[in-house]
């Protein structure tokens, strides 16, 4: 049988069609696969980009928080804790991860009612990778919010500054902001280049405790007595500072009302400023100690001199008189112990007003306070004294200085005449000696110590001396009318007591302030001897045993302080 061409025609055509369709299908599949690869690749790249972006946002925040190292602890001179860092949870959100905005706002608002709903919604309804919701929360609050199980809501641990003593030494310590950066007091100083230099000189690690000169025991005692003064005398404020006369170290510094540095906002309330370094006041007759020191050291006045205090002194339309004046000739010792304004003016005039003004510069009253605290204020003293200006300045009116300026000057007057700048850091006697400057002679220093002790025994410091009996305190009261609306108001007093102890071997100087004191009872008064003086006595009574000062009841010690030229005469009375 023969096979013709026609017999092969149909099978060959069918096989070719099948092959063609198969090739077409394979081509389409390859295109689809390629498209899917490209699509999923693009999606993958986008997801990676989003992940990196979000991680970058969170990482940047974390890096910024981690960039600030933990602050060094602050301790007192005996190593007792004043400030430290603790770890606390802080709440943040990743808005991109939040699934149900309304649910998140509702649940968080229920747990954090102090946050406004609109503010919270605005925070969560964004495209950021990281936003803070609430910093420095309690562990209990963290647990409650964590149990809500809200996607995009989480916590990170931060350092928070903690002050175990709360208000104790608050004006010294200052405070930090939410990022743990110092914003006031020694906390701000710790962030300064100056403190870095101190650390370098000490070869100390940056995280090592910062040891202050403050003695927490003395600080507590001073704070307690000043708090009592606010109640006892119904005063609007009280303050005090205690300084080592040899080293310049500040052992205690209190200004009431104070604040809790754990809540820095409380420092913004009215009246909560450091009156010791950031307030300037007319310190009244405490300035008579300064006048006596300058006049005696100039040689223009002798301890044996007498001064006419029989009549008021007139300067044109101004008349200056004594408070309960003796109306007679007074010895220099009597001018001081009777706090005679007239006699003090005569002493200053013998020295000369220009020489007196120069002496105020010599004792540092024109200089900014040499203290680590950023909260300081300069004195307000006329550059040139008029006759009447010098007269009123001699007894502490018409010029204002910080209480720490006065404490530093008093320390110098009883420290053999050597002035040492005050500090809130530990300082050795050798370091202090290198910084010291002589402002009066040793002989003048001995005479000032005698006058200050005399005033405690026979003058306006008698009430103080009775309370601190045995610790040989010497000092001078100061009572000044406050300036209200540009005029002196004799119904509002500002009282001060500037002192040192023990006067036979001076170790500490102290200034106490009481603002607008009232009578404690019907028999008492409102001048400084009744309030600032008494507070001084109670403080010394408490802190002298703490500081290792033994009581001395020997009358011989007081007798030995009387200058030789005054012994066996009635001039020392």
Residue 206 vs residue 158, higher pLDDT? 158
- Give domain status of residue 103, yes or no: yes
Q: Assess whether 150 and 226 both reside in one domain.
A: no
What's the mean pLDDT in 246-255? 98
- At 228 the pLDDT is 98
**Domain end position, chosen among 192, 211, 230:** 211
**Which region among 67-71, 156-160, 483-487 has the lowest average model confidence (pLDDT)?**
67-71
> In this model, does residue 384 exceed pLDDT 80?
yes
- Give domain status of residue 297, yes or no: yes
- Give domain status of residue 59, yes or no: no
What's the mean pLDDT in 235-244? 98
What's the mean pLDDT in 302-320? 93
Q: Assess whether 259 and 279 both reside in one domain.
A: yes
- At 347 the pLDDT is 97
Taken as a whole, the chain contains a residue count of 573
For residues 292 and 302, is the Cβ–Cβ distance under 8 A?
no
> In this model, does residue 6 exceed pLDDT 60?
no
Q: Assess whether 89 and 151 both reside in one domain.
A: yes
Q: Which two tokens stand for residue 479?
A: 């009572």
Residue 468: asked if its preceding bond is cis (omega within 30°), the reply is: no
> In this model, does residue 38 exceed pLDDT 70?
no
The mean predicted confidence, pLDDT, of the chain is 88
> Pick the catalytic residue: 285, 331, 339, 460?
285
Q: Assess whether 447 and 564 both reside in one domain.
A: yes
Q: Assess whether 229 and 328 both reside in one domain.
A: yes
CA 196 – CA 206 distance, rounded (Å) = 8
Three-state SS annotation for 326-369: CCCEEEHHHHHHCCCHHHHHHHHHHHCHHHHHHHHHHCCCCCCC
> In this model, does residue 185 exceed pLDDT 70?
yes
> In this model, does residue 111 exceed pLDDT 70?
yes
> In this model, does residue 79 exceed pLDDT 50?
yes
- At 443 the pLDDT is 97
CA 393 – CA 502 distance, rounded (Å) = 28
- At 24 the pLDDT is 52
pLDDT bracket for residue 464 (50, 70, 90): very high
> According to DSSP H, which parts of 68-191 are helical?
101-111, 117-124, 139-146, 170-173, 185-190
Residue 150 vs residue 52, higher pLDDT? 150
- At 22 the pLDDT is 52
CA 191 – CA 315 distance, rounded (Å) = 52
- At 490 the pLDDT is 78
> In this model, does residue 60 exceed pLDDT 50?
no
Q: Assess whether 205 and 248 both reside in one domain.
A: no
Q: CATH number for the domain including 514?
A: 3.40.710.10
> In this model, does residue 150 exceed pLDDT 70?
yes
For residues 314 and 277, is the Cβ–Cβ distance under 8 A?
no
- Give domain status of residue 36, yes or no: no
**Domain end position, chosen among 156, 179, 211:** 211
- At 34 the pLDDT is 65
φ, ψ dihedrals at 214, nearest 5°: -60, 135
**Domain extent for 135:** 74-211
> In this model, does residue 238 exceed pLDDT 50?
yes
Q: CATH number for the domain including 204?
A: 3.90.1310.10
Q: Which value, in Å, is the radius of gyration of the alpha carbons in the chain?
A: 38
pLDDT bracket for residue 53 (50, 70, 90): very low
- Give domain status of residue 526, yes or no: yes
Provide the 10 A C-beta neighbour count for residue 40. 10
Could you list the beta-strand ranges (E) of 65-209.
Answer: 74-75, 81-93, 131-134, 153-162, 175-176, 182-184
> In this model, does residue 484 exceed pLDDT 90?
no
pLDDT in tens, 325-374: 889 999 999 999 999 999 999 999 999 999 999 999 999 999 999 899 99
- Any catalytic annotation for residue 285? yes
Percentage of residues in the chain with pLDDT exceeding 90? 64
Total number of domains constituting the chain:
2
pLDDT bracket for residue 186 (50, 70, 90): very high
- Give domain status of residue 532, yes or no: yes
- At 142 the pLDDT is 87
Q: Which two tokens stand for residue 279?
A: 């307030």
- At 41 the pLDDT is 58
Q: Assess whether 299 and 267 both reside in one domain.
A: yes
Torsion, Cα of 202, 207, 213, 218 (10° steps): -160
Q: Assess whether 197 and 234 both reside in one domain.
A: no
Q: Assess whether 168 and 301 both reside in one domain.
A: no
Helix (H, G, I), strand (E, B) or coil at 426: coil
Q: Assess whether 538 and 446 both reside in one domain.
A: yes
Q: Assess whether 231 and 282 both reside in one domain.
A: yes
- At 104 the pLDDT is 86
Q: Assess whether 490 and 450 both reside in one domain.
A: yes
**Domain end position, chosen among 196, 211, 226:** 211
Residue 73 vs residue 41, higher pLDDT? 73
The pTM is what? 0.83
For residues 417 and 442, is the Cβ–Cβ distance under 8 A?
yes
- Give domain status of residue 27, yes or no: no
> In this model, does residue 40 exceed pLDDT 80?
no
CA 216 – CA 165 distance, rounded (Å) = 10
- At 43 the pLDDT is 55
- Give domain status of residue 51, yes or no: no
Alpha-carbon distance values, 174 to 43, 167, 274 (Å): 53, 10, 10
């Amino acid at each position: 049988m023969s096979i013709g061409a026609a017999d092969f025609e149909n099978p060959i055509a069918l096989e070719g069609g099948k092959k063609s369709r198969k090739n077409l299908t394979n081509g389409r599949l390859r295109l689809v696969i390629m498209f899917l690869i490209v699509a999923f690749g693009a999606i993958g790249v986008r997801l990676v980009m989003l992940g990196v972006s979000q991680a970058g946002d969170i990482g940047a925040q974390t890096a910024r928080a981690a960039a600030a190292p933990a602050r060094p602890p602050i301790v007192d001179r005996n190593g007792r804790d004043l400030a430290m860092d603790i770890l606390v949870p802080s709440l943040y959100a990743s808005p991109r991860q939040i699934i149900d905005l309304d649910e998140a706002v509702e649940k968080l608002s229920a747990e954090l009612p102090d946050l406004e709903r609109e503010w919270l919604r605005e925070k969560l309804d964004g495209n950021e990778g990281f936003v803070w919701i609430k910093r420095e929360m309690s562990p209990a609050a963290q647990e409650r919010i964590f149990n809500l199980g809200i996607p995009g809501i989480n916590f990170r641990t931060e350092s928070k500054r903690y002050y175990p003593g709360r208000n104790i030494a608050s004006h010294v310590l200052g405070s930090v902001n939410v990022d743990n950066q110092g914003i006031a007091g020694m906390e701000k100083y710790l962030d300064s280049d100056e403190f870095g230099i101190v650390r370098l000189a000490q070869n100390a690690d940056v995280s090592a405790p910062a040891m202050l000169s403050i003695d927490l025991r003395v600080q507590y005692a001073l704070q307690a007595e000043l708090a009592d003064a606010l109640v006892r005398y119904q005063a609007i404020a009280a303050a005090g500072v205690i300084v080592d006369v040899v080293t310049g170290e500040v052992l205690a510094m209190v200004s009431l009302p104070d604040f809790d540095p754990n809540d820095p906002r409380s420092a913004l309330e009215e009246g909560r400023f450091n009156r010791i370094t950031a307030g300037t006041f007319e310190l009244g007759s405490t300035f008579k100690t300064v006048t006596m020191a300058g006049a005696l050291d100039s040689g223009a006045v002798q301890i044996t001199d007498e001064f006419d205090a029989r009549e008021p002194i007139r300067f044109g339309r101004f008349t200056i008189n004594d408070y309960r004046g003796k109306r007679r000739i007074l010895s220099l010792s009597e001018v001081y112990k009777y706090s005679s304004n007239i006699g003090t003016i005569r002493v200053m005039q013998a020295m000369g007003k220009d020489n007196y003004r120069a002496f105020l510069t010599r004792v540092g009253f024109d200089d900014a306070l040499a203290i680590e605290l950023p909260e300081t204020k300069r004195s307000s003293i006329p550059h040139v004294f008029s006759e009447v200006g010098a007269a009123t300045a001699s007894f502490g009116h018409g010029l204002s200085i910080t209480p720490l300026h006065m404490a530093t000057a008093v320390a110098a007057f009883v420290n053999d005449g050597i002035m040492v700048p005050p500090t809130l850091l530990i300082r050795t006697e050798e370091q202090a000696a290198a910084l010291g400057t002589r402002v009066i002679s040793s002989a003048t220093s001995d005479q000032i110590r005698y006058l200050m002790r005399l005033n405690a025994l026979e003058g306006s410091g008698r009430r103080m001396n009775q309370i601190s009996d045995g610790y040989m305190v010497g000092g001078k009261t100061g009572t000044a009318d406050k300036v209200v609306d540009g005029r002196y108001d004799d119904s509002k007093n500002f009282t001060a007591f500037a002192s040192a102890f023990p006067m036979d071997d001076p170790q500490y100087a102290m200034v106490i302030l009481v603002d607008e004191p009232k009578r404690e009872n019907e028999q008492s008064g409102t001048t400084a001897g009744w309030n600032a003086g008494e507070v001084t006595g109670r403080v010394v009574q408490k802190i002298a045993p703490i500081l290792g000062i033994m009581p001395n009841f020997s009358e011989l010690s007081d007798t030995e302080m009387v200058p030789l030229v005054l012994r066996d005469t009635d001039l020392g009375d």
